[in-house]
Amino acid sequence: MRDERVRALATTAGTLVGFGHLTSEAISAVESLSVRLGSPVRCIVEWNRVVLVDLDGVAHTTVHVRPEAINMARVNATLRAIDSLPSAENIDEREIARLNSRLDDAAAIAHAPLWLFILACIAGAWGLALIYGARSPLSYLLMAIAAGVGGVVRRWLGSHGIAVPGQALAAAMLAGILGGVADHLGIASAARLVAVCPAMILVPGPHLINGALDVTGKNVTVGWHRLVYGGIILAAISGGLVVGLLLVGSDLPVTAGARTPSLWVDALAAALAAMAFSVYFSMPLTQAAWPILVGGIIHAGRWILMVVCGVNVINGDLAACILAGLVLSAVAHRKRLSFAGVGFAAIVALVPGIYLFRAVAGMVQLTTRPNTVVVVGVAQDFSTALLILAAMTFGLILSHGFIMRWRAVAR
């Protein structure tokens, strides 16, 4: 009987930690479940394992995890399985057996099918391209090829044991090559959106959000691991993109700007990008409706702040993330969803990938054509990207923390 209880706790911990749930909330879910099962434990999360320890300090079991893939369908189904358990005094062997069956079913939910994943990759790249003002129909075709084939390459490499940084490197290099082709055909914008937009959909948002929340909370060690891992993926994306452009004799201009679309195009494109990332995270459409709706609304609000009110991009992103965090933290709690998944899907269109990529490209240019304009451009792009990321992180942490504290006071 005790073995069945430990198995339920181990399955819960492995799914929540391994597939994208917030670390603090995963720990809370496992520990509260252990109390309800009559076998209280402490849940200790490390980068590649979760250790369940009883109150005397004796380890019950160790669950090995690889927190690389994101599957919110598994996480959310696991949370609902826990909620289906009756109160502690009514738990018997049959209920625990049913719980284990539900947890096993949740852990076995597949990722989004390949055809849907490919469509999401294309939709995500197109959504970002609309936000940055791409206009040429041929450039959208090349973006579709880069994003779609890149999605196939990522899944194929993953099936052969290649880690996520390697997958991102290959997909970004392909995007860079096609972006260079667009440049030679004379259809590329100065911002090289054919290359940049398919690369931006590779950004590891949940790792960065989880890591930032961990570092500012009580899980500093695992938080730094997540941030470093996310940084490695970002470096792979940037390096692959720049190398792909160089292979076909092109580059990414450091001083390139992007066009501003109309309000409605901006909002609908952000909603399209949110929908694409919901598919990446294997989120059911009924749950994806929230990040899609909120993503469109916050981008419209950001557009008004920046275009009408003259607010700069950093403060605009800060305001957008505060609003997204307030709404989606409350929704995630009420609907039993993982905040990391719905949160990043909603704000993905705000990620300053274009600044990071231009800064890396500028650093490469400095090795061959050093000049003051490039130095200033690299410094501006890096500082802008870091400040935007800091503003987005602060906005999410502030709003998520406020909702969590309000929940604790309201109990």
User: Which among 177, 244, 173, 223 is positioned nearest to 202, based on CA atoms?
Assistant: 173
**How many other CB atoms are found less than 10 A from the CB of residue 360?**
22
Find all residues with CB under 8 Å of 80, minimum gap 6, and list them.
106, 336
Give the Å distances, CA to CA, from 347 to 16, 68, 181. Answer: 22, 20, 30
Percent of the residues in the chain that have a pLDDT greater than 70, as a whole number: 94
Amino acid code (one letter) for 59: A
Confidence of residue 370 (pLDDT cuts 50, 70, 90): confident
For the ranges 181-195, 342-356, 386-400, the lowest mean pLDDT is seen at 181-195
- Across the range 109-125, mean pLDDT stands at 93
Say how far apart CA 53 and CA 232 lie, in whole Å.
32
For the ranges 16-30, 84-98, 240-254, 278-292, the lowest mean pLDDT is seen at 84-98
pTM: 0.87
Say how far apart CA 360 and CA 356 lie, in whole Å.
6
- In this structure, are strands 49-54 and 41-45 parallel, antiparallel, or unpaired? antiparallel
Say how far apart CA 33 and CA 35 lie, in whole Å.
5
Query: Which has the higher per-residue pLDDT, 220 or 60?
Result: 220
Confidence of residue 190 (pLDDT cuts 50, 70, 90): low
Whole-number pLDDT of residue 268: 94
Whole-number pLDDT of residue 285: 79
- Across the range 4-30, mean pLDDT stands at 90
Most confident region among 102-116, 128-142, 240-254, 325-339 by mean pLDDT: 102-116
User: Which among 368, 266, 366 is positioned nearest to 320, based on CA atoms?
Assistant: 266
Query: Which has the higher per-residue pLDDT, 116 or 206?
Result: 116
Token representation of residue 321: 């993330």
Q: Which residues is 52 bridged to in the sheet?
A: 43, 61
Find all residues with CB under 8 Å of 399, minimum gap 6, and list them.
321, 322, 323, 324, 325, 326, 329
Which residue's entry shows tokens 């231009």? Answer: 358
Say how far apart CA 306 and CA 131 lie, in whole Å.
14
Most confident region among 65-74, 156-165, 327-336 by mean pLDDT: 156-165
User: Which among 314, 313, 338, 315 is positioned nearest to 400, based on CA atoms?
Assistant: 338
What per-residue string of b and e applies to 170-190 under the rule 16 or more CB within 10 Å gives b? bbbbbbbbbbbbbbeeebbbe
Contact call for residues 80 and 18 (beta carbons, < 8 A): no
Token representation of residue 119: 């469509």
Whole-number pLDDT of residue 50: 92
Whole-number pLDDT of residue 78: 94
Q: Which residues is 53 bridged to in the sheet?
A: 42, 59
**How many other CB atoms are found less than 10 A from the CB of residue 256?**
17
Whole-number pLDDT of residue 350: 87
Contact call for residues 179 and 199 (beta carbons, < 8 A): no
Query: Which has the higher per-residue pLDDT, 221 or 320?
Result: 320
Whole-number pLDDT of residue 1: 41
Average of per-residue pLDDT values in the chain: 87
Decide: helix, strand or coil at residue 24: helix
Long-range contacts of 134-138 (CB under 8 A, 24+ apart): 134/189, 134/193, 134/194, 134/197, 135/189, 135/259, 136/187, 136/189, 138/182, 138/185, 138/187
Decide: helix, strand or coil at residue 61: strand
**How many other CB atoms are found less than 10 A from the CB of residue 35?**
11
Decide: helix, strand or coil at residue 43: strand
Contact call for residues 366 and 375 (beta carbons, < 8 A): yes
Whole-number pLDDT of residue 317: 93
Whole-number pLDDT of residue 105: 95
**Helices 220-247 & 205-216 angle (0-180, nearest 10):** 150
Whole-number pLDDT of residue 206: 77
- Across the range 244-267, mean pLDDT stands at 82
Whole-number pLDDT of residue 286: 81
